[in-house]
Structure 1
Amino acid sequence: MSPLHPLICLAALVGLSACSSLPAGRAPTGDVTELMPGARWEVADMEAATPLVGDTVVVPKPAQPRVPASDVRARREADGSLTLQWREAWYAALRLHLTQPLDLRGALDDATLELDWRSDDMARAGLHVGMACGPDCVRKVNLLRASRAAQGQGWQQLALPLRCFVRDGADFRAIAQPFFLDSSGSGTVQVARVRLVRQGRPSTGCPDYRSESVTPVTLDQVWAMDWWMPRHEKKLQAVREAVAAGRPPQLVFIGDSITHGWEDAGRRIWDERYAPLDALDLGYGGDKTENVLWRLQHGEIDGFQARVVVLMIGTNNTGDRQEDPATTAAGVRRLLDEIRARQPAARVLLLAVFPRDAEPGTRLRRLNDRLNQHLAGFADGERISFLDLQPVLAEPDGRLSTAIFPDLLHLSEDGYRRWADGMAPTLQRLLSAGPLR
């Protein structure tokens, strides 16, 4: 299939008469709103964004780039399609902006967001397709495996149900950015005929946001594909070796990149405080609750009996997906149940998700504050203890210091020392309490 030339047609989706022309052999699937004509395009990396004016644009570098080797660019092709190319990028995006926002409230149940795409260079990349659904509302669908499967297959059609981008309470009355795609790593993708189709026929589905946090899956992200599963296998082997040597883990830390960082910025403190306790670090960068659940169900805390399990997870659920804190809390509750089933004698120290962003009051900070309110309710005074370390990590006014949080999310060595010091009294009490019966 070749890309279709854009149509000079942009109208309200609801009640639109079909205006698309289709190649031979394809029947129209419903009323169509072509989005590319009249749209403004923007190309971005993690540090800057620039409009696509003319035929080619390269995202400019700041004076001191965080990723000097990255290169993100886009070009218009003669057939009306657009090509996004990125190299060694932490983030690359192509975004469509409408001058006249669309009211999609009447089309959320049966419409599809469709495009033609061609991905000939995806060995080190993968795509998300998304929509900005209003103020502080961005939703996207992970198509890493689909975009890799399409590599070298020529032009493909993608049709996503519009409901993939809908959450309870969302307001779709003025959608000015109905389409973007983003990725990282290195790759090339060509897109054409981005459109909304009423009563469209989806070519793929999407996870149910109401149960995503409790459905075990591996971490499918471009930057994790090379190391996530090998890390899991390495941890299983480390447990087997420790058990065989008669030194099974007594203290287990479970979490995401902040816990993973005990092996990096926090290594010195780990070696001082926790290595003598035969501790095991099960932190994985990027993990959400569902990824931790997969790991637990695939053996990471089997075959030994720990005294204490320290659990902190959820900031990627609320950060990357911006999901309802109640949904994230359901994922944490599911993990607590899994830990109890696999480590019945262990006490659990459930940590409040650490603060993020420079100042209190940001959307992500508010989401995590609400999440922590849910988590505090899981403490039972015996099996599960809850501890909020924000008072020892943040400044008295709630702001974050870059000396403790260099990127306003992850910890420095001083941050890990504050974590260890703040946790020490509670952890010592739990370690001394003996196993549960």
Structure 2
Amino acid sequence: MTTRQALQRVAWLAWLAIGPAVAALPPAPGLAPTASIPPPVTPQDRLNQAWWAARHRALLATLAADPDPKVLLIGDSITNNYDKSDPPDEDFKPIWQAFYAPRGALNLGYSGDTTAHVLWRLRHGEIDGIHPKAAVLLIGTNDTQAGRSAIDTQRGIDAVVAELRNRLPDTKILLLGILPSGISEAKTATDRAVNRYLARHYVGHPRVTYRDIGGIFMKADGTLDPAVFYDPRLPHPGKPLHPDTVGQRRMAEAIEPLLVRLIGRLRDQSASNR
């Protein structure tokens, strides 16, 4: 037996041992159930979902018409939510208009996306031919929600960051830690492990600035504040995961000084976009 055959056999035996358990994990929020969770560093599309495919086509059309976004916001539903204007709990569009529209920003958030889905989108036109000054990346919560380990989630985030660095060599990257949630103690522990890794891995990086802004969602005693998440107030209540209007504004306010440090003040950017 060759070395390669031996390695293949070991991989197959490992799959027999853990594969069924992985396949049985629940899908991430907003994702249709699938036979298995895509590996975190293998690009994966969701073109079988009509709304996702339509959003991808619309963004490509937007870029074709105006290929000059100054800032990218890349992520999952928490970023996608900036398209919503549904007061009082999900009135996010005014926040976008106040903080990001003046910067010439583009929303590359898709509800339910994991790192694998973001990686696919980056490789299929969503950052082709553009030269943004900054990219804000918030991704990973759907990876850990789907049962991925901290190590696999870290690999997925690293892959997305590497893709941005390679394809957008002049763009400064603001990498945000996974936001706190009330889904489960296990998810919280995994998210914290991911954030600790990101803080160590990107410290002093010349092009990637990492920040954990999760403290804005906590009470004075250090526990999660469910009042700034809209999930518990939905018709079918869920555990805290998505910031509400107040929480999203806190997030934008926390990000703003970081963007100022990277690319300048909002009024300066607004003037340069005219």
Task: State the one-letter code of the partner of 1:343.
Answer: L
Tell me the alpha carbon deviations over residues 301-350 of structure 1, each in whole angstroms, 9 at most, x when there is no partner. Answer: 11110000000111111112x11111111111111111011110000000
User: Which residue in the other structure is 1:252 paired with?
Assistant: 72
Calculate the aligned-residue CA RMSD, in Å: 2.9
Q: SS state of the match for residue 309, structure 1?
A: strand
Q: Is the alpha carbon distance of 1:181 and 1:355 closer, same or farther for their aligned partners in structure 2, counting shifts above 3 Å?
A: closer
2:200 is equivalent to residue 377 of structure 1:
yes
Q: Is the 8 A contact 1:255 1:287 kept in 2?
A: yes
> Structure 2: how far apart are the matches of 1:302 and 1:110?
38
Q: Evaluate the alpha carbon distance shift between residue 231 and residue 179 of structure 1 in structure 2; reply closer, same or farther with a 3 A threshold.
A: closer
Q: Which is richer in helix?
A: 2
TM-score under structure 1 length normalisation: 0.50
The question of 1:428 aligning with 2:260 is answered yes
CA distance in 2, matches of 1:216, 1:180: 20
Assess if the C-alpha contact under 8 Å between 1:378 and 1:384 holds in 2.
no
* Aligned residue number for residue 215 of structure 1: 42
3-state SS of the aligned residue for 1:396?
A: coil
The aligned runs of 1:141-290 (5 Å cut-off) are 163-166=18-21, 212-219=39-46, 225-243=49-67, 248-264=68-84, 265=90, 266-290=92-116
Partner of 2:228: 404
Q: Deviations over 1:254-311 (max 9, x none)?
A: 0011111111132111011110111001000010000000000001011110000000
Q: Is the 8 A contact 1:253 1:280 kept in 2?
A: yes
Identity of aligned residues (%): 33
1:336 corresponds to? 161
Q: Which protein, 1 or 2, shows the higher relative CO under an 8 Å CA cutoff with sep ≥ 6?
A: 2
- Looking at structure 2, the residues matched to 285 and 372 of structure 1 have their Cα atoms a distance apart, in angstroms, of 21
417 and 297 in structure 1: CA distance in 2 versus 1, 3 angstrom threshold: same
How far apart, CA to CA, are the structure 1 residues paired with 2:155 and 2:253?
29
Map of 2:8 onto structure 1: none
What TM-score do you get using the length of structure 2 for normalisation? 0.77
Structure number having the greater strand percentage? 1
Supply the distance in 1 between the matched residues of 2:177 and 2:222 (Cα, whole angstroms): 15
Contact kept? 2:73, 2:135, Cα under 8 Å: yes
* Matched residue, 1:29: none
Change (3 A) 1:356 1:272: same
Q: Distance in 1 between matches of 2:25 and 2:141?
A: 23
Structure 2 CA distance for aligned equivalents of residues 335 and 180 of structure 1? 23
Q: Distance in 2 between matches of 1:263 and 1:377?
A: 33
- Contact 2:70/2:132 (8 A) holds in 1: yes
Give SS of 2:69's match. Answer: coil
Cα contact 2:99–2:256 (8 A) shared by 1? no
Measure, in 2, the Cα distance between the counterparts of 1:422 and 1:110: 43
Residue from 325, 346, 351 that aligns with 2:176 = 351
> In structure 2, do the counterparts of structure 1 residues 397 and 179 end up closer, same or farther at CA, with 3 Å as the change threshold?
same
Residue 109 of structure 1 deviates from its aligned partner by 4.3
SS of residue in 2 equivalent to 1:280: strand
Larger Rg: 1 or 2? 1
1:298 equivalent in alignment to 2:153: no
For structure 2, the residue ranges without an aligned partner over 5 or more in a row are 1-11, 85-89, 232-239, 266-274
Flag the 1:399–1:232 CA change in 2: closer, same or farther, 3 A: same
- The match for 2:189 among 366, 379, 384 is 366
Residue 419 of structure 1 aligns with which residue?
A: 251
**Contact 2:136 2:176 (8 Å CA) reproduced:** yes
Q: Give how far 1:364 is off.
A: 0.9
Q: Relative to 1, partners in 2 of residues 1:179 and 1:241: Cα closer, same or farther, differing over 3 Å?
A: closer
- Give the aligned length: 234
Extract structure 1 runs of 4+ deviating beyond 6 A: 178-182
Q: Secondary structure at the match of 2:228?
A: coil
Q: 1:428 to 1:225 in 2, by over 3 A?
A: same
1:409 Cα deviation from its structure 2 partner: 0.3
d(CA) in 1 for partners of 2:45, 2:174: 24
Distance across 1 between alignment mates of 2:260 and 2:120: 29
Conserved 8 A contact 1:333-1:378? no
